[in-house]
Chain A
């Protein structure tokens, strides 16, 4: 069943359209990749799906969450779905986490907010979540501050936070872009595992075609605020219809060709 659906979503700033006529839909267990160059409007789309656009930006179209249109809804209604139905993981976990709050309490926060757990129950659940995202020594780690963790560990914390209240759709906005290549692969594996386990639907946003292609089943290609292509990953990769998608596929193939010897050889 469709959880999140947009039709004709358009975002404008001072009358200038930044995102035009974007329609997409996500159900549980869906894996949709959204790819596009920086500035193409994909992050704005993600923020719009949670009603978190910066003030001054105007939206039109429809954003249906469980069949209810949330576009232009008051913050009170958005708050009921944020974290509970739709969650998001941002690009830079260092700044997305409170630098001065122990990570356990940051994971426990939404549990207390949405499920009314008391502090000790919430902290226990936070430890469980740390375990599920494969953080080492969870009981001790929950007391650490973000800067005491590695970049990959921080992103695992962010994932635990986003998934703690069992949302049915997870938006991942370039979640691996700020990470080392090896760590990136680990996080992608973890995401794959968590989707299988929890059945959450994924909207994975990236500018990196190989990364998206590895995780997604359906691909959306965005350019200058418009969706220029949409289809199953294999189709888009084999038979890109738009000129931009053809370029993306070609350059990704070239990089892969160039990189192949080092992938099998001593890479890093």
Chain B
């Protein structure tokens, strides 16, 4: 990217910056992503008040039935309504996704900031720990924890949260150290501003949008991880429904009721594509600098 180009773009764009920001919210990735995610969220929220059938309701007369007015998404081999399961599964996915991301950020962000703010030695130590946790995949961590504590929602959340926290810490450290080496931070330091004040005044305002985008992406990772764990029988135990377990149960009947496989898989995909698009959109909306760089950098 050449400096003149950036300047050229700036001179054109600068006068109507607010207009551009408004246009940013209309970014197609952002809108489509938000719509997909809201649909899944709505499914989860509505299930708190209403679902076509109760969680335990089985219909012995309609086992492995195809989609019908009574059962919009068909039934499984026990005669349970698949749409009900799907709605309640959305709740599980949203809840575990959010909680894991929260765990990941509570661990990862302070760790990353500490590494960026502290001296070289502390930074190396934290980087080392991050490297090892990254090498230690979420799935294996979950398996260790399940072996000792048995499968539970808490174990799934902790395993996914810790697994994702490494990436959060890595990103926080990198973006925060970039801010720490800026001239204006150096200037603030020479004026005697304490590290905490620098953190609040300079670092956080400059990295929060990066972290927000990361949170969206981490949410997608967590949803897939949750589905994988429950597929393997290591996630939220029955009777709480989960998309992963729906798939595991549907696999054995795939030859007679293939539609039971389709919907839960699509639900996971819609959620993950939704948050990924939302993340891309957020990046464009929140980081005008990146937007300009991208425009100028494309040739």
A residues near B (Cβ < 8 Å) are 13, 16, 18, 38-39, 41-44, 52-56, 90-92, 173-174
CB within 8 Å of A: which B1-60 residues = 2-5, 7-12
CB distance A16 to B8 under 8 Å?
no
CB distance B11 to A39 under 8 Å?
yes
CB distance A39 to B10 under 8 Å?
yes
Chain B residues lying within 8 Å of A13, measured Cβ to Cβ, are: 9, 12
CB distance A38 to B298 under 8 Å?
no
- Which single residue of chain A is at the shortest CB-CB distance from B14? A39
Complex CA gap A16/B10 in Å reads 12
B residues near A (Cβ < 8 Å) are 2-5, 7-12, 295-296, 298-299
Complex CA gap A254/B4 in Å reads 26
Complex CA gap A253/B16 in Å reads 36
CB distance B12 to A91 under 8 Å?
no
CB distance B2 to A91 under 8 Å?
yes
- Which single residue of chain B is at the shortest CB-CB distance from A224? B11
**Interface majority SS (helix, strand, loop, mixed), chain B:** helix
Q: A52-B299, A54-B299, A55-B298 are in contact. Are A39 and B2 (CB under 8 A)?
A: no
Question: Which 6 A-B pairs have CB atoms at the shortest separation, nearest pair first?
Answer: A43-B4, A54-B299, A39-B7, A39-B11, A38-B7, A16-B12
Other-chain contact of B296, A39, A54, A174 (Cβ < 8 Å): A54
14 chain-A/chain-B pairs, Cβ below 8 angstroms? A38-B4, A38-B7, A39-B4, A42-B4, A43-B5, A44-B4, A52-B299, A53-B299, A54-B5, A54-B298, A55-B299, A56-B295, A173-B4, A174-B4
Complex CA gap A18/B296 in Å reads 14
Chain B residues lying within 8 Å of A91, measured Cβ to Cβ, are: 2-4
Complex CA gap A42/B2 in Å reads 13
Complex CA gap A43/B9 in Å reads 12
Complex CA gap A18/B4 in Å reads 12
Chain A residues lying within 8 Å of B2, measured Cβ to Cβ, are: 43, 90-92
Chain A residues lying within 8 Å of B12, measured Cβ to Cβ, are: 13, 16, 18
Min CB distance A22 to B, Å, is 14
Chain B residues lying within 8 Å of A16, measured Cβ to Cβ, are: 12
Chain B residues lying within 8 Å of A39, measured Cβ to Cβ, are: 4, 7-8, 10-11
CB distance B3 to A18 under 8 Å?
no
CB distance A44 to B8 under 8 Å?
yes
Complex CA gap A55/B11 in Å reads 18
Q: Which of A13, A42, A90 has the most CB atoms of chain B within a 10 A radius of its CB?
A: A13
CB distance A56 to B298 under 8 Å?
yes
Q: A13-B12, A39-B10 are in contact. Are A44 and B299 (CB under 8 A)?
A: no
Chain A residues lying within 8 Å of B11, measured Cβ to Cβ, are: 39
- Which single residue of chain A is at the shortest CB-CB distance from B12? A16
Contacts A13-B12, A39-B11, A90-B2 aside, 19 further interface pairs with beta carbons under 8 A come to A16-B12, A18-B8, A18-B12, A38-B7, A39-B4, A39-B8, A42-B4, A43-B2, A43-B5, A43-B8, A44-B5, A44-B8, A54-B295, A55-B298, A55-B299, A56-B298, A91-B2, A173-B4, A174-B4
Q: Which of B3, B8, B299 has the most CB atoms of chain A within a 10 A radius of its CB?
A: B8
Min CB distance A226 to B, Å, is 13
Chain B residues lying within 8 Å of A53, measured Cβ to Cβ, are: 299
Complex CA gap A52/B12 in Å reads 20
CB distance B8 to A41 under 8 Å?
yes
Min CB distance A113 to B, Å, is 20
Chain B residues lying within 8 Å of A52, measured Cβ to Cβ, are: 299
Min CB distance B43 to A, Å, is 39
Chain B residues lying within 8 Å of A55, measured Cβ to Cβ, are: 298-299
Min CB distance A120 to B, Å, is 34
Complex CA gap A156/B299 in Å reads 26
Chain A residues lying within 8 Å of B298, measured Cβ to Cβ, are: 54-56
Min CB distance B12 to A, Å, is 5
- Which single residue of chain B is at the shortest CB-CB distance from A46? B4
- Which single residue of chain A is at the shortest CB-CB distance from B7? A39
Complex CA gap A16/B11 in Å reads 11
Chain A residues lying within 8 Å of B7, measured Cβ to Cβ, are: 38-39
